[in-house]
Structure 1
Amino acid sequence: MTIEARIRELGNRHRSLDETIRQEMIHPASDSLRVRELKQQKLRLKEEITSLEARAH
């Protein structure tokens, strides 16, 4: 897999997590621990994307 393809894949997962977090926060009984874990996953993905983008240029 090329770096560009990996960046696209990670970007898709990042957007998916963003939507999952948004949906979770809509519910009045949202699980704050789950939301925090999802945000941490999203941050790790963003860091990996940034790292790959730096290597691609």
Structure 2
Amino acid sequence: MLAPLLARNAAGGGAQCGQANSLEVYDGDHTNMLGFGMQDHVLPFFGANLSFDPAD
């Protein structure tokens, strides 16, 4: 399948700019794992990286 190969090649591009990134390839289509991805990856990422403290 071509899409995962292209994604794997593109995932390394952020390292050139000093930006960490990761890639996870899973069996399925675009929508059948959406809830899992939000719950287990997106929300924890924002919880760890967003600050709600007022800026000084």
Q: TM-score, normalised by structure 1?
A: 0.36
Q: Normalising to structure 2: TM-score of the pair? A: 0.36
- Bigger Cα Rg: 2
| Structure richer in helix, relative to its length | 1
